[in-house]
Amino acid sequence: MPRMLTLTRHAGDLSCVRAMRTLASGLCAALLLFTATAVQAEDGYALWLRYAAPDAGAAGPSATRVTQLVVAGSPGVPSATREELQRGLAGLQGGAPANGDAVTRAGALLVGTPAASPQIARLGLDLDGLGGEGYRIRSAVVDGHATTVVAANEDIGALYGAFHLLRLLQTGQPLDGLDIREAPRLAVRMLNHWDNLDRYVERGYAGQSIWDWHRLPGWLDPRYTDYARANASIGINGTVLNNVNANADVLTPMYLDKVAAIAGVMRPYGIKVYLSARFSAPMEIGGLDTADPADADVQRWWRTKADEVYALIPDFGGFLVKANSEGQPGPQDYGRSHADGANMLADAVAPHGGIVMWRAFVYSDEEPVDRAKQAYNEFVPLDGTFHDNVLVQVKNGPIDFQPREPFHPLFGGMPKTPLMMEFQITKEYLGFSTHLAYKAPLYEEVLDADTHVQGPGSTVARVIDGSLDGHALTGIAGVANIGSDRNWSGSHFDQANWYAFGRLAWNSDLSSRDIAVEWTRMTFSNDPAVVEPVVGMMMASREAVVDYTGALGLHHVMGRGHHYGPGPWVEGGPRADWTSVYFHRADGNGIGFDRTRRGSDAVSQYAAPVAEVFDDVTRTPEEFLLWFHHVPWSHPMRSGRPLWDELVLRYDRGVETVRGMRETWAGLDGRIDAGRHAQVAAFLAIQQDEAQWWRDASIAYFQSISGRPLPAGVAPPPHPLEHYKALEFPHAPGDTQ
Ligand code: GCV
């Protein structure tokens, strides 16, 4: 990382100003040089692990200093733990503490397991129920010395505890009187990379894939270690390296060597490597003439392939599969079910302790049924037929990662099958990398949604953490927003979505606001004059995107293919269910998809109390109105306005919120390092322009259908509809290849 010598704003500046008055200018210049501090250039590479010394104006920086570091354990995870603590404490305290093998002085930090440390064992801390990944952080007296203890049953728990402790220090929390007990709710907390082997990232807006396949295994980019550190810091313990639209080559010996090299970097950080498996691989790289899961040769091929993978990577996690979806091969090509396909692969990895994550993102345009209903129709009859090491991976909503969707009806619909949540961290539908859209409120809204399947409180979070139906195998996946860009995620604020995903994967009870505060403090500053406005921007941002792209339950109204910008007019083409008009169904009378019992009856896929609400236009929350109902343009809204006026005002509200975010950010000039401030400012300007574009184009289109006048005082779109329809973006990033 480049280093540069800059003058930081701290107490030294002020004393210098005072000194200026009394000292000769030459002397002051010398004093300035003396107080100048070498700081990291702020290019975003360090993510939330900057370990910057507490800044001036920070609220309550920890007064406690760690004087001695004792990490118990041998190479592997404990070495990673020691290195991270040394790095973190050196930055945060302005110097690394002394290393030791045992606590010998006050102010020590003792980290490890009772098995590795007699001093931890003697404390007799209750570690029951924490599993391998949980930990305790306790202020204790060790052999007569005041000590902070991070204790866990296994080394990885101690690493997670170390990161927790560093988070406390980074956010200025005191280290006194600590008594923290943490364990993750979900077993598998993973990223899904939609990265192709040629380094193109599908729906990726942060450069190329970080996996430099061509140079692997000979060249292990140091970035892999930093990726592992960042993920471990938020408790992510798995990564699927390649796109679900998979290339079978990743399973060839040449690529498996490369995968094994990556797995070696991930291992000390508790991260297992997984691969997306192409269902037709036995034909493409195995020389068979079928991939039928009932065929003995096919079964043998997968078993042998699994043996080969595990011989190279003993802790390999397993396979993720997209089958019979959007053109991918699958068991239905042979008249077999999704369960047949999943179970065959599950049997291949089971002897090695592997799992299969089988995606439920399936729909077919040959099927006349509402696309929102198809996954449920396909999978619910299979409930109870999947083998024990299969997780069915379900997107948060029934369509496709829209800015807002109701929760997927499969949550609660398959009690005998462990369901894994799939969120999208990358912002395919929320403005790519240039729009500021903090997605934690979206994740939180879905996790907190009540399925009512076992009465009130049957939240989606409880479905996926297994507590509702007694499943031990549990998981969550986030489609990564990581690429080769220096700042990893394409924008500084998109790092927050990676961070928030991990934090919620660890503990779904955390609030999106608290996570935003934590992230802001670590990423930008502990200064309340920064934290409050930045968190305010973040918390308003997702709703702003909903407003300017289409509020009140509108969905799938973006540009065709690349999904960049507005496209409510999109119709025709290869598939009806890839058009906008299929979803908004606007006509002269009204707008919205009738999914009530009188329409497609998608509402009946939810438990009765939820179905009742969604079926009733007067009880459906307005944010889902047009998702479930086709209503007249004059439909009275709770505001007292007709629907058309409300919709138009929401578009304006979205643009206005972005304008406000931009103003707030401009006010932070001088409080945030210049490089990051400038890029965020430029991106907010892009967002404001594009929000305006979304608003203008959408109003122009829907007005051409509704024929209604704009509400009083609302500005008409500056161009005719044809102007917006004619815009083309042939090289927009992230499109399917
Ligand atoms: C990986 C959407 C995206 C596709 C993606 C697909 C999926 O359709 O646009 O790019 O493919 O979801 O989740 O499989």
Distances (CA, A) of 534 to 489, 625, 668: 18, 31, 9
Q: What pLDDT score was predicted for residue 61?
A: 47
Please indicate whether residue 379, judged by its CB atom, sits closer than 6 Å to ligand 1. no
> Residue 361 C-alpha to ligand 1 middle, in angstroms?
9
In this predicted model, what pLDDT tens digit does every residue of 182-238 receive, in sequence order? 999 999 999 999 999 999 999 999 999 999 999 999 999 999 999 999 999 999 999
Is 400 a pocket residue for ligand 1 (Cβ < 6 Å)? yes
Nearest CA to ligand 1 atom 11: 245
Give the DSSP letter string of 640-691.
Answer: SSBHHHHHHHHHHHHHHHHHHHHHHHHTTBTTB-HHHHHHHHHHHHHHHHHH
Domain regions of the chain by residue span: 2-40, 68-182, 188-507, 547-593+630-725
* Residue 312 burial (10 A CB sphere; 0-12, 13-18, 19+): middle
Round the average pLDDT of the chain to a whole number and report it.
93
Neighbours of 513 (CB within 10 A): 16
pLDDT at 35 over 70: no
Ligand 1: does its nearest atom lie under 6 Å from the Cβ of 202? yes
CA-closest residue to ligand 1 atom 13:
361
**Is 154 within 8 Å of 113 (Cβ atoms)?**
yes
Question: How many Å lie between the centroid of ligand 1 and the Cα of residue 14?
Answer: 55
Residue 650, pLDDT > 60, answer yes
Q: Is the CB of 322 under 6 A from ligand 1?
A: yes
Q: Are 411 and 419 in contact (CB under 8 A)?
A: yes
Percentage, residues of the chain above pLDDT 70: 93
Is the CB of 350 inside a 6 Å radius of any atom of ligand 1?
A: no
DSSP states of 410-430: TTTT-TTS-EEEEEE-S-TTT
* Ligand 1 atom index nearest CA of 202: 10
Query: To test ligand 1's pocket by mutation, which of 203, 205, 374 has the most ligand atoms within 8 angstroms of CB?
Result: 203
What's the CATH class of domain 188-507? Answer: alpha beta
Encoded tokens for 110: 């003792």
98-156 pLDDT, tens digit per residue, is: 999 999 999 999 999 999 999 999 999 999 999 999 999 999 999 999 999 999 999 99
Work out which ligand 1 atom sits closest to the CA atom of 563.
Answer: 9
Residue 571 has pLDDT above 80, yes or no: yes
For position 263, what pLDDT does the model report? 99
Instruction: Write down the pLDDT at residue 356.
Output: 99
Q: Exposed e or buried b for every residue in 58-75, given b needs 16+ CB within 10 A?
A: beebbebebbbbbbbbee
Distance 668 CA to ligand 1 centre (A): 37
Grade residue 64 by pLDDT with cuts at 50, 70 and 90: confident
245 lines ligand 1 (CB under 6 A): yes
CA of 574 to the centre of ligand 1 (A): 16
Q: Which atom of ligand 1 is nearest to the CA of 245?
A: 1
| Any atom of ligand 1 within 6 Å of the Cβ of 558 | no
Q: From the CB of 498, is ligand 1 less than 6 Å away?
A: no
Q: Are 578 and 552 in contact (CB under 8 A)?
A: no
Work out which ligand 1 atom sits closest to the CA atom of 422: 13
Query: Is 244 close to ligand 1, i.e. is its CB under 6 Å away?
Result: yes
pLDDT of residue 41: 60
Ligand 1 pocket check for 562: Cβ under 6 Å:
no
Q: Is the CB of 371 under 6 A from ligand 1?
A: no
Count of CB atoms within 10 A of residue 579's CB? Answer: 19
pLDDT at residue 521 tops 50: yes
Q: What is the pLDDT of residues 292-319, one digit of tens each?
A: 999 999 999 999 999 999 999 999 999 9
User: In this structure, what token pair is assigned to residue 614?
Assistant: 């969604």
What are the catalytic residues? 326, 400, 428
577 CA to centre of ligand 1 in angstroms: 13
- Distance CA(263)–CA(282), nearest Å, equals 24
**Among 111, 109, 159, residue whose Cα is nearest residue 133:** 159
Nearest alpha carbon, ligand 1 atom 2 = 400
In ligand 1, the atom with minimum distance to the C-alpha of 243 is 1
How many A from CA of 61 to the centre of ligand 1?
A: 44
Which residue out of 194, 396, 405, 558 has the highest number of ligand 1 atoms within 8 Å of its CB and is therefore the one to mutate?
194
Q: Would the pTM count as exceeding 0.85?
A: yes
Residue 59 has pLDDT above 80, yes or no: no
pLDDT at 507: 98
Residue 265: which residues within 8 A CB-CB, separation 6 or more?
220, 224, 225, 228
**CATH class of the domain comprising 68-182:** alpha beta
Q: Is the C-beta atom of 203 inside 6 A of ligand 1?
A: yes
Q: Give the number of the atom of ligand 1 that is nearest the alpha carbon of residue 194.
A: 1
Q: What is the pLDDT of residues 660-682, one digit of tens each?
A: 999 999 999 999 999 999 999 99
Q: How far apart are CA 680 and CA 689, in angstroms?
A: 14
pLDDT digits (tens, 9 = 90+) for 348-397: 999 999 999 999 999 988 889 999 999 999 999 999 999 999 999 999 99
Distance 692 CA to ligand 1 centre (A): 27
Instruction: Choose which residue among 196, 321, 326 to substitute to test ligand 1 binding: the one with the highest number of ligand atoms within 8 A of its C-beta.
Output: 326
Please state which architecture CATH assigns to domain 547-593+630-725: Alpha-Beta Complex (3.90)
Say what percent of the chain tops pLDDT 90.
92
Spell out the residues 6+ positions from residue 735 whose beta carbon is closer than 8 angstroms to its own: 561, 562, 563
11 pLDDT more than 90: no
Averaged over 415-426, what is the pLDDT?
98
194 lines ligand 1 (CB under 6 A): yes
Q: In this predicted structure, what is the pLDDT of residue 1?
A: 29
Q: What is the pLDDT of residue 3?
A: 28
Tokens of 507: 């503990």
